[in-house]
């Protein structure tokens, strides 16, 4: 038997998988090229348009599949890819090349793909290659449709490990989720859309494996360690035994954590810490036990809008919010008001084309401009909240004036409902997302106007560091553990404590057990995380003491480098046995 060969790459998603590999090719290796007689150009253009329509239908199928299995947020990349195919400029560019050069549609599309890739070729790094793939991948679907070549056939049944040249959303969704053991790829970024999907699916994933595909044969046995970022080719009996033992221990640990997940997150010296979950759809209730959570710390209501062809009515929203509140009762549910703009667009609501959407018309700015949208949503939420623990969260707040304006709308909606005979709770807390740095400079004044605060670290980090994490030129500078970010978090917690207001963190930063302990030490009352991470966070809090958490916070706040902060957290992680 051939000796196992271990290839080292980059970890995208943790976990262990052992099984047969299936090599996926997103497009054929050879693109046919031939000349088109002038009298046949119109027919060839029509053939191109049909292929674009077929590709769009396929992307829509995948969007719906991911929405059902993982939620609307993860499915939005396919909506973006469909929008790329609907871009008149790109379509006209392909058609013009076809007519001017009198080449077949496959060649014209392939030339566009190569131009997109050449644009970023002078840059370096997996994140750039991932970004290039995100731009060109929809057109590869068109090329696939034109050539009418199916993917190499999957086994009729059984689970597989997928291998690809580049990690893309199409690769991640090319087989049913229940059949997917792991994904390995020669190239791809840790923060690409496909990587986000792999993590959301809970699938082990490793990228950065150059020269992998030529070493593979369909059906070859692989052992994938997503946490270590390694792939073993044709593992021998000894390696398989060791691998299975490690996988069994990991599964037993996850099961053990799940058994105690309903226990409160309380430190051994009495420090209490809330652990809630982030959701975006009723389907999310299928992937976690509500008894394990202290509530819903963030319900992303915009995805209710995204899955509909038009604005949902007040009654539609009422029914949705009521079902969420009833599923979690008597625990609290925090509904965030409509947070569109940037990377979250509605197909039926035309927003302005902006040079920098991250700093543009989004979040509460949209709601205050289109106040009827906000009023309808607040009416539905207040009606649904009767007899339940409802809280309202405002996104993208940057000033006191915005909070005052929203409060006036909120009070007006409540008064109107009472006048019309609707029952409304006497006290519905209203809080704000801390995402914009300007809030840090008026946080004490804001505390007097709100009932609670929740820090959205994903946006706060990029705004503090002036780093667009989706921009391949600078994404490597996106660092949640930058000392400036830690000090900003501490500032918010101090202000909340002084005002006697609850404060939490609902961004991805809270998913890490050691960082959750740090947040406890900084003075936060709770975190809200993806359901997958809830058992680990609760375990970490129970494994530590409030005193140790406060010592960690003091140590980290004294550090002046990212590496020093990470080292302190790594030491805490070892103490927690993670």
Annotated catalytic sites, by residue?
193, 506
Tokens 């807390």 identify what position? Answer: 429
Cα atoms found within 13 Å of the Cα of residue 291, Cβ hemisphere only: 6
Reply yes or no: is the peptide bond before residue 330 cis, omega within 30 of 0: yes
Sequence-ordered strand ranges (E) for 24-109: none
Sign of CA dihedral 232, 198, 133, 161: positive
Tell which residue, 472, 523, 474, has the closest CA to residue 129: 472
Tokens 């299975």 identify what position? Answer: 244
Residues near 80 by beta carbon (within 8 Å), at least 6 away in sequence? 343
Dist. CA 165–CA 154, nearest whole Å:
17
Dist. CA 156–CA 314, nearest whole Å:
46
Contact 318, 385 (CB under 8 A): no
Contact 6, 231 (CB under 8 A): yes
Structure token pair of residue 471: 């921009």
Contact 170, 137 (CB under 8 A): yes
How many beta carbons lie within 10 A of that of residue 473, not counting itself? 14
Dist. CA 297–CA 118, nearest whole Å:
43
Sign of CA dihedral 357, 362, 366, 369: negative
């Amino acid at each position: 038997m051939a000796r196992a060969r271990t290839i080292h790459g980059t970890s995208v998603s943790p976990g262990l998988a052992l099984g047969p590999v299936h090599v996926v090719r997103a497009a054929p290796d050879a693109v046919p090229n031939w000349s088109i007689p002038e009298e046949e150009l119109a027919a060839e253009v029509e053939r191109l348009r049909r292929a674009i329509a077929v590709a769009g239908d396929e992307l829509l199928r995948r969007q719906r599949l991911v929405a059902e299995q993982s939620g609307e947020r993860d499915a939005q990349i396919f909506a973006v890819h469909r929008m790329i195919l609907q871009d008149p400029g790109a379509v006209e560019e392909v058609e013009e090349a076809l007519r001017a050069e009198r080449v077949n549609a496959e060649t014209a599309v392939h030339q566009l793909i190569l131009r997109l890739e050449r644009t970023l070729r002078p840059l370096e790094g997996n994140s750039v290659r991932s970004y290039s793939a995100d731009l060109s991948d929809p057109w590869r679907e068109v090329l696939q449709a034109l050539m009418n070549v199916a993917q190499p056939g999957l086994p009729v049944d059984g689970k597989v490990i997928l291998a690809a040249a580049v990690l893309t959303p199409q690769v991640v969704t090319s087989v049913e989720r229940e059949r997917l053991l792991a994904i390995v790829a020669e190239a791809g970024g840790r923060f690409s859309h496909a990587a986000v999907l792999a993590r959301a699916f809970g699938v082990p994933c490793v990228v950065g494996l150059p020269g992998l595909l030529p070493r593979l044969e369909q059906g070859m046995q692989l052992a994938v360690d997503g946490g270590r970022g390694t792939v073993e080719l044709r593992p021998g009996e000894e390696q398989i035994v060791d691998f299975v033992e490690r996988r069994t221990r990991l599964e037993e640990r996850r099961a053990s954590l799940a058994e105690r997940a309903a226990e409160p997150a309380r430190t051994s010296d009495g420090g209490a810490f809330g652990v809630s979950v982030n959701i975006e759809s009723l389907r999310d209730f299928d992937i976690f036990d509500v008894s394990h959570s202290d509530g819903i710390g963030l319900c992303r209501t915009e995805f209710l809008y995204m899955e509909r062809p038009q604005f949902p009515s007040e009654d539609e929203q009422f029914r949705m919010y009521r079902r969420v509140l009833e599923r979690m009762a008597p625990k609290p549910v925090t509904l965030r008001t409509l947070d569109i703009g940037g990377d979250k667009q509605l197909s039926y609501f035309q927003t302005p084309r902006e040079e920098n959407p991250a700093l543009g018309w989004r979040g509460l700015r949209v709601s205050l401009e289109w106040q009827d949208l906000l009023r309808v949503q607040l009416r539905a939420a207040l009606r649904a909240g009767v007899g339940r623990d409802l809280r309202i969260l405002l996104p993208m707040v940057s000033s006191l004036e915005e909070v005052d304006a929203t409060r006036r709308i909120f009070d007006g909606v409540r008064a109107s409902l009472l006048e019309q005979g609707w029952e409304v709770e006497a006290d519905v807390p209203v809080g704000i997302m801390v995402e914009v740095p300007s809030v840090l400079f008026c946080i004490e004044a804001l505390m007097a106007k709100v009932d609670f605060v929740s820090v959205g670290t994903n946006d706060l980090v990029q705004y503090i560091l002036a780093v667009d994490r989706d921009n391949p030129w600078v994404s490597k500078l996106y660092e949640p553990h930058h000392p400036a970010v830690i000090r900003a978090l501490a500032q918010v917690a101090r202000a909340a404590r002084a005002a006697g207001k609850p404060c939490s963190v609902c961004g991805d930063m809270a998913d890490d057990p050691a960082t959750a302990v740090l947040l406890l030490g900084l003075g936060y009352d709770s975190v809200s995380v993806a359901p997958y991470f809830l058992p680990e966070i609760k375990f970490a809090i129970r494994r530590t003491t409030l005193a140790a958490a406060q010592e960690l916070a003091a140590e980290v706040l004294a550090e002046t480098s990212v590496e020093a902060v990470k080292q302190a957290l790594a030491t805490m992680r070892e103490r927690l046995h993670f």
